[in-house]
Copies of this chain bind each other. A is one copy, B any other.
Amino acid sequence: MSSVTTTMPEKLGEPATRMRSEDRRELILEAATAVFGERGYFGATTDAIARVAGVSQPYVVRMFGTKETLFLEVLHRALEKLLSTFRAALADGIAANEGAEATGHRIGVAYGDLLSDRGLLLSLMHAFILGSDPVIGKAAREGFLEVYKFLRFEAGFSPAAADIFLAHGMMMNTMVGLRMADEYANGDPCAVDLLETAMPTKLDLLLSVNAESKHA
């Protein structure tokens, strides 16, 4: 959930502090999500993931079998978290006895909250544009359709509403991936307009997350 920098570096070389493999697994998945998010599937190395997670490279590989399997696991987790966040927002909206539109807005806000984890949304984005890959592409398509089906059949969005929602989601992801907030900080007035329009109510969050992950 929190930034990767919370992980104690463990001074690699000295064995990492012992941990139940289940917990270590979570650390590695978190690290992998961050690294895959920054560099994509091919650009990320198991060694970089291992360093961020504070373990040795072979440990990462052995725990997940292959880099591809690890990526698929990251992708699966990201979609799971996305959908569970959406479902929670939907449940809140229903509990509050809101109309459909208010609940739709609530899910949009929930999406914005996911921005605090750059890696999560960017790993998804990277997967989404690797559709040609026989394995990753298949998983990405299925995942995307799962989200679409949630919007349509659980949240009650019309096709047009789902399209608009997803389009703005892709736009926000792109702003995050571009690190457009850097340009905002640099004072480009266009970047200001762009971000303020594309990320309503979420700009402060994006700026802080962006600054936080700057020392990578």
How many copies of the polypeptide does the oligomer hold? 2
A144 interfacial by beta-carbon distance below 8 Å: yes
A171 with B163: CB separation less than 8 A: yes
A145 and B149 alpha carbons, distance in the complex (Å) = 33
Chain A contact surface mostly = helix
A141 and B188 alpha carbons, distance in the complex (Å) = 11
> Residues 159-173 of chain A: 1 if any B CB is under 8 Å from the residue's CB, otherwise 0?
110111011101101
A137 and B126 alpha carbons, distance in the complex (Å) = 15
Contacts of A159 in B (CB 8 A): 193-194, 196-197
B178 with A129: CB separation less than 8 A: yes
A174 with B130: CB separation less than 8 A: no
A129 and B180 alpha carbons, distance in the complex (Å) = 10
Interface size class of A (residues with CB under 8 A): 35 or more
Whether A137 touches B178, Cβ cut-off 8 Å, given contacts A129-B40, A183-B145, A193-B152, is: yes
Contacts of A131 in B (CB 8 A): 176-180, 182
Determine which of B145, B164, B177, B194 lies in contact with A130 in the assembled complex, contact meaning CB atoms within 8 Å. B177
A140 with B178: CB separation less than 8 A: yes
A122 and B167 alpha carbons, distance in the complex (Å) = 16
A128 interfacial by beta-carbon distance below 8 Å: yes
Contacts of A198 in B (CB 8 A): 163, 166-167
Offer 20 A-B interface pairs, CB within 8 angstroms, sorted by A.
Answer: A40-B42, A40-B126, A40-B129, A42-B42, A43-B43, A125-B174, A126-B129, A128-B177, A129-B129, A130-B177, A131-B176, A131-B178, A137-B179, A145-B194, A149-B190, A159-B193, A159-B197, A166-B198, A170-B174, A171-B171
Q: Separation in Å of the A123 CB from the closest CB of chain B?
A: 10
